[in-house]
């Protein structure tokens, strides 16, 4: 029960940059991501969701155009998600040959996701015991920190997680399956795919701009 709650929590990474504010005036992050979670869970598929949000004060808030109701809609998970996001003209829903579902707004910047991690070993402790904690550990790699320092202007991006009790070394040890192994010369996106496959869930990547022109990014994970 605890593991399920933990995987459903959003793991938040904030990065600061520049540009203008956006606001879609639609469904918020909680509603949209829960609907995606329900659809992918029913099909036992992993995937990813990349989108623009709205920076509300110091925190980013996801904003989707109004989602269509898909209650009773028949078809594959890909088709159902396409119908759900049909009001968002920039959202493309595709499926990889291995079954992963990709939900991507076409104008979302890829710079962060293309950062290459040269070597990473997943810890053999509670930090690999849930998708959210595995993502947290991954985002502490030197390459990610270097990218943020050089391009975003903030070397320590952790401002708040929405994950009470999980920040090392104080987080409770998780009993359950762990993601293990090593990754070499992979992008952040590919590393996130590895975690999503291990825990059968989907990772999220959100960008937004503050009124002052600061860019913020949120990276998270939801397990099925």
Give the pLDDT confidence of 9-58 residue by residue, as tens digits.
444 444 433 333 344 556 667 778 888 999 999 999 999 999 887 776 55
The answer, yes or no, to whether residue 143 has pLDDT greater than 50, is yes
According to DSSP, the β-strands at 47-56 and 201-209 are parallel
CB burial of residue 107 (10 Å; 0-12, 13-18, 19+): exposed
Q: Which residues contact 200 (CB under 8 A, 6 or more apart)?
A: 44, 45, 46, 223, 224
Average pLDDT value for residue range 82-108: 94
Please identify which residue in the block is written with the tokens 């998270």.
Answer: 220
Length of the chain: 224
DSSP code at position 37: H
Confidence of residue 7 (pLDDT cuts 50, 70, 90): very low
Average pLDDT value for residue range 195-207: 89
Residue bearing the bigger pLDDT, 142 or 11? 142
Q: Could you tell me the residue ranges of all domains in the chain?
A: 2-223
Q: What token pair was written down for 53?
A: 């949000």
C-beta separation of 148 from 216 below 8 A: no
Distance, first Cα to last Cα, the chain: 13
C-beta separation of 10 from 136 below 8 A: no
pLDDT at 139: 85
pLDDT at 21: 32
pLDDT at 149: 79
> What CA–CA distance (Å, rounded) separates 168 from 14?
18
CA distances from residue 177 to 53, 129, 131, 139 in whole angstroms, order as listed: 32, 6, 10, 20
pLDDT at 153: 60
> What CA–CA distance (Å, rounded) separates 172 from 153?
32
pLDDT at 160: 40
> What CA–CA distance (Å, rounded) separates 152 from 37?
30
Average pLDDT value for residue range 78-90: 93
pTM of the model: 0.79
Return the closest-CA partner of residue 158 out of 180, 178, 135, 179.
135
Confidence of residue 90 (pLDDT cuts 50, 70, 90): very high
């Amino acid at each position: 029960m605890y593991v399920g709650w933990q995987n459903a929590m959003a793991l938040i990474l904030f990065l600061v940059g520049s540009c203008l504010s956006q606001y879609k005036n639609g469904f918020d992050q909680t509603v949209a991501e829960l609907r995606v979670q329900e659809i992918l869970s029913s099909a036992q598929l992993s995937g990813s969701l990349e989108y623009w949000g709205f920076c509300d004060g110091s925190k980013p808030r996801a904003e989707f155009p109004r989602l269509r109701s898909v209650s009773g809609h028949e078809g594959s998970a890909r088709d159902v998600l396409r119908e759900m996001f049909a009001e968002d003209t920039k959202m493309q829903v595709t499926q990889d040959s291995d079954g992963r579902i990709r939900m991507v707004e076409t104008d979302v910047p890829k710079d962060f996701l293309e950062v290459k991690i040269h070597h990473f070993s997943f810890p053999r402790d509670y930090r690999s015991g849930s998708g959210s904690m595995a993502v947290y550990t991954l985002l502490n790699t030197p390459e990610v920190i270097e990218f943020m320092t050089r391009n975003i202007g903030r070397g320590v991006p952790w401002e708040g997680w929405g994950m009470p009790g999980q920040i090392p070394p104080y987080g409770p040890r998780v009993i359950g399956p762990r993601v293990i192994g090593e990754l070499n010369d992979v992008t952040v996106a590919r590393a996130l795919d590895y975690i999503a496959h291990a825990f059968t869930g989907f990772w999220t990547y959100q960008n937004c701009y503050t009124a002052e022109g600061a860019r913020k990014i949120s990276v998270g994970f939801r397990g099925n």
